Structure 1
């Protein structure tokens, strides 16, 4: 349902063409037209030139000016009453189910009473609330409705009943959003003036009210809301072009309020421009003065407001750029933070009071300081290989100071969050090499300039390249079932055994039409596909993948599920009597044939007492069979199964039949199980073909060594295998077997000849070590027992630690000389013998200590910089400071160092690693080398370093005065030209004595003349001079005294004489 409040002479615009209050407010769904629901959305249309006042949920009043549509919700579905001012009538128009309430004018009615009829709007219906999410923000200043003939009576708004007491109360509540007490006092003074105006116009109230009349000039006023200037708020002026005697009291009051606003705006515009102080890289302090307290007496005695609100507007795009509000408050000094370094800013201040704003002040300009760069973005990778990473980054904001270096750190692939520097330079890319494949490395980046170092970027992790797996072989079928297929596959060729690879098994069911779909994803090499249809063809392929990518799919293979098999036949039974050599058996068909007819029956018989071996004795469709050619005293097991198109059924229950018993027959010769070993063999045998009708209870295995004459029993028991140990390597042995049952032992089997394998050599004895020198030893060992095979080589392990020795010799010899050892070091050694059977045990470890020797050569020798020397007696012209690292002492403490520096006698230094050579010639190059000495002698000299002494500082030149004047002196020194040449290396330092007796510097440079100016006439001045070069500063000269002459008297003017 829509309610449109339309003023007179303004026809309601179409609903779809009426502009909304703001495009940012979301509209509700289409309103319920003549709906029966509990809630209805009502749109109140406010036309141009009108105003609509509502109260929000927080109690604040809001005045909405047209054109606008205000969405409101009626929880109980009722329509609120529309207030009709005097001279108007409301009409309800219903068109297409939409009800419109239109306010139209009516003929005026005249009242004859002694006072005007004051119409008060009725209270709104309870529960009728506006939709706050769709209302515009409230205006920052609302004037109370003016009183008069018509305007005081027309208030198109909905307030609670308690809001409407009298006109003063209505005015006070209409201004509930005023900010402070000072603004309230100003408003009270305005109300007092208005009441005085009411007294003057009291008689006019008794006359009939004027009918509303369309104004010929625009007066932008709605509910007391007037548009202003220079404020951006609806608090400006509204004037009628037709003034004078014909003007109404309302227009006069509007003019008075406009004058009050103008005076306040003029006062607020006197605020001073801000002053910038304490300028930093990202902050500045702005301060300003309050507006002037002077105010014109034309404002009827009102004084300036005591409380102001200020807004600071900043622009970083020039004086005429876009300004943004950076601060709003009552303070006159504020510190602005979050500024950009090295940026030009322009600031202006604007004062506000009683929702009236003054003009902007003049702009104040300032520039923030430079600072360290901004934190750079993460480095990105531009190229990667298995062993290298190329990183690149972009320059961050330099904050006013050029970035000269970048610092790149990494964790070296350790993943422990401990970073170290890998690059420090001006480039914006860096390539790291010698990395490990498929390894993660973490990096972070910082930028540097002259102001400092930025923070590090976020940590970023990059991987070196690996390689994707190659195409695997097609999966193979392990076993097929009725509803499942068990498959397996192998790793791709060339894949390391420790590389983690996963697999995707894909299957295609041609009946589904979806193509290949993954059915397994994991690390296993086998998988069983279940829930398949029996006797159906399926296609399969496998894909291998790792962290670097996927391989190509394998070739497609096809597998078919099996048909269902029939059930097992019944258990066979004996038909008739069991004889010694035969008996007859019969069986019944299976109860379930698996859906296919049985094609044949298979009868199996086992002569093994344990039923491990079954032989097929019959195959056919007949269900009866005569078993003959049997052995007396034997046990037979019989079972039957059937075969159909669906497969082979399970076997039936086993039938056990035993013939009469006799003594067991001979056994087959025992046989070797596996390959013979050096000291043991694994023997195995089978039961005798004839057990004599009684189970075999015991077997006896006998052995005959090659060098013996009698057999000895090595095993007796019921097992069919045994291990014979404690044999000698490479020897021949013979074995025989016999079986026994309850009737006794049967005959022995034939012999079985076996030769044991050769064995590795025995453990060597500890080797003997002889020291030939401090760097050479001789190792000697003896041959152990070879255990049936000739020793082919000996392996000698040697090392400085017992747990990390390495092979230093491999050959058939019995001694070896180890060279290149370090003196005074403990070495460890052991020996191992090897033959064709393998390697024997290592000997016990033997330790050897090499003799001590002279020290090693000094590997690092360098000259010490002059600024790193703390000695006061050090003179760079006659001294050289050197330093070296202590070498290895080779088992004997270093006692002294010998320094050789030319033709002079070497200098001995006791245990120190630095020395200052003095009494040298200036500007001379020396070749210096150092050697270490201990109790065993002197070690080799280090490499030579060339160091040069500096020349002596120059002597001071003679100082002369070339030109005298009463105010200046031109001084000259040396024999050179007055102007310095580019090749001059000598600098001169001229000083003059001041009044306090101290010498102050006048000139420092390469020139040979200097003019001293602004001197006093007839005055003596003292000077001295000093010469400097790369060798240092020379001594000051003796003091020179030069005196300025007296000045000449001024010339007399022509024709002028002093009176007598």
Structure 2
């Protein structure tokens, strides 16, 4: 809306006195069409029915309708006048400046160029659409086109062009002529006549359309001419930006505002699509929805109900149209257009229920721009020092090409520089270098700008005769061919005039001289069918279109010799030894054209298959093959090599070395776990069997390497169990292998031990503080004592006597985290293997940074087992405390107060032993820390009491000796433990390693040591301890177990030899540990047994027995010590009963009545014996339970 509105058009006398002509629509409606012309740069203002003001910027044609023939109020800008013109039954209101008039002439004369103030615009044709039954205000396009309610019936309108003329010769601004003035007067007269006879209701007061303003740099957007706004199917129409169209074919004939009455159609045609934002290569095309008329009412449809197709043509209105878009959008951008080109566009709308509706053509001309890229310049002539170029013009894109820009690289392959600028289309470059490459490119320029450069072209100046090339170089030579290579002359500059090369060759001694072998442009060639090991001479020529060069230097190259033939089969020279053999061979018959440089002797074991190893390489024809294995078959072959290559191998020679004794075997090793008295050994065969199969092994043993060896096994087996060894001893073993030649050398010594022990004590660990809360502990591995160390145990704590295990594993270092600053820590390490756990090592200590000391929080008394060296507990008290927080200063010591305020100052060690105290006395102890800042507060008081003096060791004696147990007794007191007895005893026995091991600890005064060996001496010592501490150990007491009696024999057997003679036999026993076995045979005819035999034989004959009498016999075995002549007898065997009978009766007893009489008496004796045995067993079990409960426990 403008700020200063011009006076309304109603003040114009011409409009007031000219009546509007009514038009019949469908026979009952009257419409008046008014077309208002708005010039470029001006604004047209109308008032709508609702009182709003609509502003339209020119150039534009505003069509208006009035149902009653009245003229709506029109505001005319200052300096403009309005005219009413009638043409072909249509009235038009034209608003023109005083200096311009409306010219309806269709054929004006060619006018001069337009004034500078008149901008270029055009007027388009209009489509045919049916009229509406009710008066409407159609949309106002912003590009000068007519709305779709009018049909164009006139020639193309004139156009006002811009100040700068087009290059296509379009018509310029229209000048007045006499014919146009006459036609204007005629139109005015006809309007006045129709106004005088018109309808009284036709007034120029119809309401204008309501404005809808859209900001655009080139046009205003008016989507709807109705002041109330028309809508489609459920929504407002889209607004599209519309630009001005220039240079269309319709505008070339001037400008004319044209309108016709509307005609009825079932579906209105699409309105003329306005074109906006016209660029040199693109334009924006927009259109409105079609309006249909049904039952006298107009309807708008939804955009989604239509499919629009846009087609354009650049070959005239009747030319071929090309479809560029199909879719539902109301605005599209036409890309890829040609600059300064006339285009015609149309839009068609289709839907499923309505026939196709096609708009009128809209014409527009794209903007001019810089020219297209020209084609590359062409070479029309060249010399050694000049290049003549010619080129053609490219499309000027609407502005004439004024100049051309030619650039070149000056033959340096560098940046381009200008060499010509002008309007000519040819140019000659002079003062150039012969045979030089030059790169050029071309660009065109018009009044709008400079085009892009053409493609870069390269041209060469004319050349000269090439200089002599360098001689050919041998790339590779074969037996019958040679590959040569050469390079262009060094001073030759590359050009498009390529060089051709000619290669000549002369064979040595042929007498034919140089003969051509190659002619071409390649820089290499391969010559074939040559003789082997022959020298050839070569020379090279280079020539171009200017002529042929001088020859190159003559060079000589030779072919390679051929491979020689195989040598003769090698033969053995001299005797074949066990580890070496001498072979010789003859040279090949064909040496391939060169001397033999080297021979290769290869060897392979017959059992190895096809694997060959080279053992000799040289010029000699004889070689000693050494380092052979005895008794092995070898294959030998020879090949030779010369400059021509390597020959094939000769025939194979097979030789077999003599056998020798086997080599050393691997050291014997354990076949299982070592036992106390035996070791299971196994070993492997020797690495070298000496050429003969190993038949037996010899195992030797010694207690040490210095002692004499003795053989313990000889045989074919590869394992053996060595018995009768002493436990806990280390033995040395050697093994030898033997074959048919003899025994080989001894194997390496194998030292094997029985019963490995726990590891040694670890060394003192090393501690390094990485930070205030982290420390790294490292330690060394101790002696493993025969078993590999499986893990380490790290004992860690703030107190030396109260450390705990924080790490278990195989590593020899551990990083301790989460420590407390200003705190002392202790650690020690223990090693473990499969045999047991070693002792803890020495204790290491580390202290984190310190500060001003605080009160000691924890103070306690140390027990004796927590000290490495136990002080006397009766006169000493060992105390320990936790180091308090140092508060940034190092703690230098502690003050310990005890007794009657006795004060003792100690160092930093958080443990101290108070000495020279009274036994069995209570002390009150407290402690305070000291550092460089002073003494800290005392800790809480702790009461500690010294112990009484420890007891003396008692006297130890053995009260019961047995072959497998010893019952010991000490001191005075009951044998069973008393709860009130505070004294405890610690009984220790010496083991086989000389260490004393505790076997009993408790309050009892007797103890039975069991599971002992017979006739063995054992050492014991005893110690008494109570609350006062542990007393000293007693002297060592020695006691020896007795020998074990022989086992009970089975019942003897009685065999009758004669009538009154019986032979008694029994099973014999083996000697026991060097003691011989004697037997005692007892015979009983009644209740008493009498000894009838004592001796070493396991049988005895009983003569002179009474017939029909029952006898019983039994036997026992005894050990006879040959040194002391003592005998130890075991229990008697069960009795054997037999009855002596006569020989003639053939029965065991003489009288059956004797057996009958003897039967009940025998059964009675057996019952009594069983009862006594059961009673003894019950009593023994009861005694064992009582002893276990009261004595041992």
> Which structure has the larger Rg over C-alpha atoms?
2
- Shorter-chain TM-score above 0.5: no
> How does the TM-score come out when normalised to structure 1?
0.27
> How does the TM-score come out when normalised to structure 2?
0.24
